[in-house]
Amino acid sequence: MNTPLVVGNWKMHGSQAECAALARQIVRALGKQRGQSSASVVIAPPFTALTAAARAIKNSSVGLAAQNCHWEERGAFTGEVSPVMLSELGCGYVILGHSERRHIFHETDLEIQKRLGAALRAGMRAILCVGETLDERQSGQTFKVIGQQLRIALKGMVKDGINQVEIAYEPVWAIGTGQNATSTQVAQVHKRIRQALVKAFGSDGETVRILYGGSVKPENAKELADTPDVAGFLVGGASLKVETFMPIVRAFSHK
């Protein structure tokens, strides 16, 4: 079984100094608690702090992720960052299709597909986010929506490419709203995601890590970590303080 993965998505928070300090705190905390968690840890600072964070985690087990990337290596794309540039900074991962990118910045499934392919070609692992809105859940469209997001994003995947992808289920209605998905709801969606992956990729689809990412915090991390087919977390606000992030990482200590 793959090692669980806990990703801290810092979003648009933190100066270079603040992000470097938090990264160092996480490295120190992991060092002190060695053996208390079986999870791998990745941090995703804002673009401006990637270099500072990379220096702070150098020679540690903590991985570095970008929060998005463009689908071209270079060109006239003002304001965009290519996966090749991110890889050069030390990013081994990139978050793609986050609900905020889909719903605030209107990224389409096809654009996310192109970003994912570019990230894999640059040698990075992709953390592909999928999830439904409250209206979609209430109208019984959850599995249809997520199935389409997966199908389009993963279409044309190169051979063995799925082995470089993590899937993060993040119900839009449970992100920063105070509402929480129950472990039963999470298990149902993760089961459907697994079935879709196996149908599309055979045995390779059985080993893809499926993370959960809807308002994960210390209070619910243990229950969620015990949920079938939850192989990690994509953590937002609770990853901005070592005091709230580390208990989430330790939720997988018994796995």
Contact 10, 44 (CB under 8 A): yes
* C-alpha–C-alpha distance, residues 222 and 217, integer Å: 9
Return the DSSP state at 1.
Answer: -
Helix (H, G, I), strand (E, B) or coil at 39: coil
d(CA 233, CA 227): 12
Residues 17, 82: Cα–Cα separation, whole Å = 24
Active site residue 254: no
Indicate which residue of 111, 136, 170, 190 is catalytic: 170
Contact indicator for 197, 163 with CB cutoff of 8 Å: no
Q: What is the number of residues in the chain?
A: 255
Which residue among the candidates 98, 111, 166, 190 is catalytic per the annotation?
A: 98
Report which secondary-structure segment, H or E, holds 102: helix 99-103
Q: Say how far apart CA 129 and CA 146 lie, in whole Å.
A: 10
> Is 18 part of the annotated catalytic residue set?
no
Residues with catalytic function: 98, 170
